């Protein structure tokens, strides 16, 4: 089965500090990985994706993610967290077997405190 | 314009009612999706339309009936729902039919079944 795992239910970080939200994947073949963010009572917003190419992917709102094939990881990072970054973050994988639909991790709640 | 719109924002319906959710995008995308999301959980795929044809039905009960009248519009017809169907219903679209493309989500319709 093609899947992603987010090992942390919640991540707490102080404003101005770097943040990392973890994601590992388990897919056969090439992984096509995505990060989405969801603010309360809102739809999901696309942050970034890895399809092929550079392992460091830059996305919206200053976020970036590093694809690591040996560790099967795709962690989301930001050098300096903002209180407004507090939200629910989903890692996802697209698989051909699922008709190219997104298969999401369980989500990680990020809380940035002032 | 990367906007997907959904109406209504909120819907309360009884178990004997018939109602419809509407989703619209004007980005020229040729794949459209319905997801169901329970609180604090990841979205779960319901249906995928590619070039206005239903390509995926994730074993969704027949009380949910999707319709894609044209490439910009996606409807979800609801009939005889159960209280456990209360959730946030998200619509999404992606370019050029299904593939390894990011999906753009609408804000969702918050459905409550009484």
Q: Give pLDDT tens digits for B26-75.
A: 899 999 999 999 998 999 999 999 899 998 888 899 999 999 999 899 99
pLDDT tens-place values along chain A, 114 residues long: 679 999 999 999 999 999 999 999 998 878 889 999 999 878 899 999 998 888 999 999 999 999 999 999 999 999 999 999 999 999 999 877 666 778 999 999 999 999
Q: List Cβ neighbours of A109 (8 Å cut-off, separation of 6 or more).
A: A9, A10, A11, A87, A88, A89, B40
Q: Alpha-carbon distance A7 to B33, whole Å?
A: 27
Q: Alpha-carbon distance B21 to B12, whole Å?
A: 12
Q: Alpha-carbon distance B80 to B71, whole Å?
A: 28
Please give the C-alpha separations between residue B62 and each of A33, B38, B46, B78, B108, in angstroms, as whole numbers.
Answer: 32, 19, 11, 9, 21
Q: Say if residues B55 and B46 touch (Cβ distance below 8 Å).
A: no
Partners of residue A34 in chain B, C-beta under 8 Å = 102
Q: List Cβ neighbours of B14 (8 Å cut-off, separation of 6 or more).
A: B113, B114
Partners of residue B10 in chain A, C-beta under 8 Å = none
Site from B30, B37, B43 to mutate, A interface, most A CB atoms within 10 angstroms: B43
The first and second tokens of residue B114, run together, are 């009484």
Q: Which residues sit opposite A91 in a β-bridge?
A: A35
* Cβ contact B90–A44 (<8 Å): yes
Q: What is the pLDDT of residue A42?
A: 82
Partners of residue B48 in chain A, C-beta under 8 Å = 99-101
Q: Alpha-carbon distance A8 to A108, whole Å?
A: 6
The confidence band for B99, taking pLDDT boundaries of 50, 70 and 90, is low
* Cβ contact A100–B99 (<8 Å): yes
Nearest 10 degrees: CA dihedral of A91, A59, B55, B15? 60
Q: Alpha-carbon distance A110 to A21, whole Å?
A: 8
């Amino acid at each position: 089965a093609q899947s992603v795992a987010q090992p942390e239910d919640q991540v707490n970080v102080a404003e101005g500090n770097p943040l990392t939200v973890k994601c590992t994947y388990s897919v056969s073949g090439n992984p096509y990985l995505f990060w989405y963010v969801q603010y309360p009572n809102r739809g999901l917003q696309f942050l970034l994706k890895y399809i092929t190419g550079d392992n460091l992917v830059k996305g919206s709102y200053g976020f970036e993610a590093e694809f690591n094939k040996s560790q099967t990881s795709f962690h989301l990072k930001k050098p300096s967290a903002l209180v407004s970054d507090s939200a629910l973050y989903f890692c996802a994988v697209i698989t051909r077997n699922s008709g190219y639909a997104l298969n999401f991790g369980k989500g990680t709640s990020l809380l940035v405190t002032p | 314009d990367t906007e997907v719109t959904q109406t209504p924002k909120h819907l309360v319906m009884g178990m004997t009612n018939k109602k419809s959710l509407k989703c619209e995008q004007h980005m020229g995308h040729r794949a459209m999706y319905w997801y169901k999301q329970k609180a604090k959980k990841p979205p779960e795929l319901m249906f995928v339309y590619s070039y206005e044809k239903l390509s995926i039905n994730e074993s969704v009960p027949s009380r949910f009936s999707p319709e894609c009248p044209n490439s910009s519009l996606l409807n979800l017809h609801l009939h005889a729902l159960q209280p456990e169907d209360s959730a946030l219903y998200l619509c999404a679209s992606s370019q050029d039919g299904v593939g390894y493309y990011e999906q753009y989500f609408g804000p969702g319709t918050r459905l409550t079944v009484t």
